[in-house]
Amino acid sequence: MKLHKYLFILFLSVLTLSAVAQTESQLRRKKEAIQREIEQLQKNLNKAASGKKLTIQQINTINAQIRLRQDKIGTINSEIKNLDNQISQNTNTVHTLQGQLGDLKKEYAGMIRFAQRNRNAYDKMMFIFAAKDFNQAYKRIKYLQQFSQYRKKQAGYIENTQQDLNGKIKVLDKTLREKSDLLKEQERERERLGKDKNEQSVVLNKLSRQEKQFKQDINTRIKQQAQIDKAIRLAIQRAIEEARRKAAEEARIAAAKAAAEARAAAARARAENKPAPAAPAAAKEKNTNELLTNDAGSAKLAAGFENNRGRLPYPVSGTITEHFGVHKVDQATMNNEGVNITASEGAAVRAVFDGEVLGVSLIYGKYVVILMHGNYFTIYQNLKSASVSKGDKVSTRQTIGVLANTGDIAELHFEIMRGQTKLNPEAWISK
């Protein structure tokens, strides 16, 4: 029974440690991904640092770097918590194995004493011949044979248990060293976070001295974005009008066909002296979403886009440094109707889903690409060049252009729309 208990404990330990190892691996990958993002942002900041003029992108990049650093510290805390659990489990396993080893040694010592008392063949023969009948003598012979076999097995159990114990002690020592390394890494990240916050403070002081210029930059950005938005809405409106024209033409053909059928039915009714059939009802006008998904292909694209909510790939490999919605930069209020993703200059910009190129425009020296996915649209701004043209079919993750610098930092402005309604891209792209 003790052996079964021992095996059961080891089985549970293996299962638990396997689950912990999986979580530990996930945390390590997350930490490494965060570090890559921090390093990329720092490269961009180093390039921008030479400029005397402070930009919105620099402020957003520093703020994003601080958020990432805090996230990394949180990930390290989770790793430490996992290691604490492993240390506790391994310590319990070591204590269990030590107790099991002690019990096995006690049992083995008892068997050795018994064997010592019956060490010669004469004693064994006397033990057998002392039986009251043949049946008991046979059982005693079997007992001596089984006892000898069990003693050998018991020696094997002791050796295996000792090996397991030594292995667990090594694992425990390794885990304690890992925890020590993580605590040192955590301390280093806290120091770096402090430096990032000091840099943020310096930037904000610099901002107060350049406040007038900074506000002018924000106003310029708002005006430029308004013009880009106007061009985007016009392109989408043209697509809606084209869909409406096609729907109207289809409705006209269908109405003409229905009218001809109605006239034929009325003529047959007159010939047969029957009442004339009722006139067909007029078709209802379709709304925008129905117009844009009027055909099977467009409807399939829209449904596929919706089904991939939260799983769409990033349009560029980088970090979101400005989020969707209204927010403040110092005293200035800004409304971002998409997200800004900071990446390296010249990075490939990719389609997030299958679709068709609705338009490619060159505005303020940068390209804007609009893709149509049924009644959904994705917009990619601040491209140095575009590798697609209006009417092209594109597939998920297909490169549609390369990223340009915006000010001192390479930043993609990405939007998602349903009809004419702006949506929060962070709810649609993968985390």
Residue-wise pLDDT for 359-374, tens only, equals 999 988 899 999 999 9
Distance CA 53, CA 60 (A): 15
CA-wise closest residue to 381 among 208, 232, 184, 234: 232
The per-residue pLDDT for range 264-296, each reduced to its tens digit, is 776 676 677 767 666 555 556 666 677 787 788
Is pLDDT at 116 greater than 70 in this prediction?
Answer: no
Residue 335 banded pLDDT, cuts 50, 70, 90? confident
Residue 1 banded pLDDT, cuts 50, 70, 90? very low
SS3 assignment, position 5: helix
Distance CA 93, CA 100 (A): 10
Q: What pLDDT is stored for residue 389 in this prediction?
A: 94
Angle between helix axes 211-271 and 56-117 (nearest 10 degrees) is 90
Per DSSP, what are the bridge partners of residue 339?
A: 414
Residue 122 banded pLDDT, cuts 50, 70, 90? very low
SS3 assignment, position 258: helix
**Average pLDDT estimate for 126-134:** 62
- Exposed, middle or buried: residue 382 (CB in 10 Å: 0-12, 13-18, 19+)? buried
Other beta carbons within 10 angstroms of residue 258's beta carbon come to 15
Q: What pLDDT is stored for residue 146 in this prediction?
A: 63
Say which range, 66-70, 77-81, 200-204, 352-356, has the weakest mean pLDDT: 200-204
Distance CA 362, CA 335 (A): 23
Using left for φ > 0, alpha for ψ between -120 and 50, and beta otherwise, residue 233 falls in alpha
Is pLDDT at 52 greater than 80 in this prediction?
Answer: no
**Average pLDDT estimate for 110-120:** 60
**Residue 3 CA, distance from chain mean position:** 44
Written as six digits, the tokens of 235 are: 């392109």
- Stated as kind and residue range, the H or E segment containing 416 is strand 409-418
CA neighbours closer than 13 Å in the CB half-sphere of residue 106: 7
SS3 assignment, position 229: helix
Q: What pLDDT is stored for residue 399 in this prediction?
A: 96
Written as six digits, the tokens of 20 are: 């912990």
- The more confidently predicted of residues 19 and 356 is 356
Residue 422 banded pLDDT, cuts 50, 70, 90? very high
Provide the pairing of β-strand 421-423 with 355-363: unpaired
- The more confidently predicted of residues 125 and 106 is 106
Is pLDDT at 222 greater than 50 in this prediction?
Answer: yes
Terminal-residue alpha carbon distance, the chain: 50
What torsion, rounded to 10 degrees, do the Cα atoms 169, 173, 174, 175 define? 100
Residue 391 banded pLDDT, cuts 50, 70, 90? very high
pTM, two decimals, is 0.62
Q: What pLDDT is stored for residue 53 in this prediction?
A: 56
Distance CA 330, CA 337 (A): 19
Q: What pLDDT is stored for residue 394 in this prediction?
A: 96
Residue 179 corresponds to which amino acid?
Answer: K
CA-wise closest residue to 381 among 410, 412, 352: 412
Residue 119 banded pLDDT, cuts 50, 70, 90? low
**Average pLDDT estimate for 373-391:** 94
Say which range, 149-158, 208-217, 316-325, 394-403, has the weakest mean pLDDT: 149-158
CB contact at 8 A, 371 and 400? yes
Q: What pLDDT is stored for residue 382 in this prediction?
A: 92
DSSP letters of 44-107?
HHHHHTT-SS--HHHHHHHHHHHHHHHHHHHHHHHHHHHHHHHHHHHHHHHHHHHHHHHHHHHH
CA-wise closest residue to 403 among 319, 340, 331, 344: 344
Give the helix ranges, DSSP H, for 118-210.
Answer: 121-129, 134-209
Nearest-5° Cα angle at 36, 35 to 37: 90
Work out the mean pLDDT of the chain and round it to a whole number: 76
Residue 208 banded pLDDT, cuts 50, 70, 90? low
